[in-house]
Amino acid sequence: MNRLLTLELPEKVYNSLEEKAKQASQSPEALAVQLLTAATQTVIDDPLERFIGAFSGHGSDWADTHDKHLGLSVTETMRREERQGRADA
């Protein structure tokens, strides 16, 4: 079943959509349907989608601080390997 969806777009967005549609010899509406279909299909086909939010991440800033956490992990690993190297010698 198809549904009708009416969207109000900012002028810049519509102009860009219209330009891309002309390049593809399509109407802006047809191109918008293709873009929306592709965008939602990615979410539908994502095998990890069902796990999003299922586990506690112990903080919500990991995306902003992942470099820091990776750096700390690498430093910890290097120190552990260094201590192990001294113990083996």
What residue type is 68 in one-letter code? K
Q: What is the CA radius of gyration of the chain?
A: 24
The pLDDT score that the predictor gives to residue 59 is: 66
The pLDDT score that the predictor gives to residue 58 is: 66
Using DSSP, state whether 60 is helix, strand or coil.
coil
User: Which of 4, 34, 39 has its CA nearest to residue 20?
Assistant: 34
Regions of the chain with pLDDT less than 50: none
The pLDDT score that the predictor gives to residue 16 is: 96
